[in-house]
Amino acid sequence: MKKVIKPADPLIALQEYTAARIAIGRAGTSIPLKQSLEFKLAHAHARDAVYSALAVEALTVRLKQFELPVLHLHSMAGYREQYLQRPDLGRKLSQESVTELAHGATPADIAVIIADGLSAIAINTNVIELLELLIPMLRFAGFTLADIVLVEQGRVAIGDEIASALRARLSLVLIGERPGLSSADSVGAYLTYNPKPGLTDELRNCVSNIRPQGLTYKQASKKIFYLVQEAFRRKLSGVALKDNAGSLHE
């Protein structure tokens, strides 16, 4: 009997360009054992990321290199399960944190706010390296920086309340993104001009998938810096602020 040669899967060549699960083959009506186990491992990593904790002490030590005060705040979500079930509580500061910010602040251009979000692992792993590139760029351009803020159990919108209390003209929230099955360590950067409580997402700009295997620190810092400059130049952010910088290059 003549042997039938199956044609190669044309999608295999694309594996070089993406971590997505494509051209994984099959074993009967299922997927091969190796790929099945890899999927379960990725799912476990994603679950671990969601329940991971912000390394507050270690981050505080490393943030000292920027010679700015570091504030440690907390949202109204008292524990992780509540945070996951009540997104609204993660958008507001606890009463203790509100009191801590009520002592007044010197006006500044930018407030950098670091929150765990849905992957504290992403923040613990990537945020310092990103800031080591970004903060010198902002300072060289003449922007003044408010106190750096670490927020536990925080959502994106909590940055509006914090930046408003710090009297900052723009909030830059660096937060752990929802983990996927190929990336559990992605950081998102959200910029909001003229931040204040009650704003909604159409007034923000987002730079997503910041990690070595995604948007690199160098690429992300350039993109964030461009958006910050444009936000101050045009005095707005969000859907009205278009990214016309072109393609990113190292």
How many independent structural domains does the chain possess? 1
Contact 119, 178 (CB under 8 A): yes
Flag whether 64 is in a domain. Answer: yes
Q: Which residue has the higher pLDDT, 213 or 156?
A: 156
Task: Give the model's pLDDT for residue 43.
Answer: 74
Task: Give the model's pLDDT for residue 37.
Answer: 80
Flag whether 39 is in a domain. Answer: no
Residue pLDDT, tens place only, 82-124 = 999 999 999 999 999 999 998 778 999 999 999 999 999 999 9
pTM (predicted TM-score): 0.87
Flag whether 189 is in a domain. Answer: yes
Give backbone dihedrals phi and psi of 167, rounded to 5 degrees, phi first: 60, 45
Flag whether 129 is in a domain. Answer: yes
The answer to whether residue 63 scores a pLDDT higher than 70 is: yes
Q: How confident is the model at residue 60 (pLDDT cuts 50, 70, 90)?
A: very high
Q: Residues 134-155, buried b or exposed e (16+ Cβ, 10 A)?
A: bbebbeeeebebbbbbbbbbbb
C-alpha dihedral sign at 190, 46, 212, 53: positive
Task: Give residue 226's domain range.
Answer: 56-234
CATH of the domain at 178: 3.40.50.11240
